[in-house]
Amino acid sequence: MREITYREALREALSEEIERDENVVILGEEVAQYNGAYKVTQGLWEKYGDKRVVDTPISEAGFIGMGIGASMLGIRPVMELMFWSFAYVAWDQILNNAAMVRYMSGGQINCPIVIRGPANGGTNVGATHSHTPENFIANTAGLKVVCPATAYDAKGLMKAAIRDNDPVYVMENTLLYGMKGDVPEEDYVIPIGKADIKREGTDLSIICHGRAVLTSLKAAEELEAKHGIHAEVLDLRSIRPLDEQAIIESVRKTNRALLVEENKPFAGVGAQIAHLIQWNCFDYLDAPIARVSAIDAPAIYSKPLEDFQLPTPERVLEAALKLCQ
């Protein structure tokens, strides 16, 4: 097993799928000659040329709409957004058109499009560049949303997304691009909708996704080392479809649930999961469901304040200790 970065894992997935399927193309701002804003597509234009890796104008509404039209005709476009925050100018295309075409055509027209890019705060680029819209996307029937936390998951989920016949929106994180992890050389695909237990535990279920998984793992290590509490860390990996059974089984095993996300709390992903747990695990709970999310305000430009605004291992640890008292 070799160790590569999250960025390299995504690049490998894109390259392998271009090789596997002649209909896969990459489109986005600066993805070709410039190698991508975050160098995820580095070297792919030189390798595959203008017809497979295509630079677009700075018009998300335009090129996302073009990609959706192309997907309806059999192309499998992978569209890069420099920030998911920029998707908001293409909301009609992303939420209204891509999501509804198969349903409204009675299953006659598929829309096998992938839209990917960073969806996170924590980089001190201001409120308009720091959105985490996985809850907005997941609210729309017909769409799939994945949030890989590791290099291994990033590659496997990206390959699954490209092969899927429905729109799949991949929420990455700029703070993860340089992080390394074990990734096998052989081909593999991670099924969309399958959660993963990143750490086994018996005293508490920490349910999380994206970079919050790494935050939760750090807190879980300290819980065990300093307090003798064995926390289970369940990585959702997929927001929609959601692995409800994995959540229910984990909470029924540990009898406590702590939901951690970098999403905002109001109508966030954790709100839906809290309802799921309350409905299915009420008689198993030894404490109320707890949540640690981003503090409910626009992303703060100041680095010290934004660092605190997002979930930290210390905030997760504090919430976990309260649940286990």
* CA pair distance 137, 129, nearest whole angstrom: 17
Which is nearest to 147 in space by CA: 67, 271, 238?
A: 238
Choose the catalytic residue: 8, 12, 17, 129: 129
Active site residue 275: no
Query: In angstroms, what CA-CA distances link 264 with 71, 121, 183, 258?
Result: 32, 11, 31, 15
Going by C-alpha positions, the residue among 253, 133, 239, 169 that lies closest to residue 204 is 253
- Among the listed residues 12, 60, 172, 232, the single catalytic one is 60
Q: What dihedral angle (degrees, nearest 10) is formed by the CA atoms of 167, 168, 169, 171? A: 180
Tell me how far apart the alpha carbons of residues 258 and 251 are, in angstroms, rounded to a whole number.
Answer: 10
Nearest to 13 by CA among 147, 146, 176, 189: 189
Q: Is 227 a catalytic residue?
A: no
Tokens of 318: 């504090």
Instruction: Return d(Cα 43, Cα 308) in angstroms, integer.
Output: 37
The residues assigned a catalytic role are 60, 129
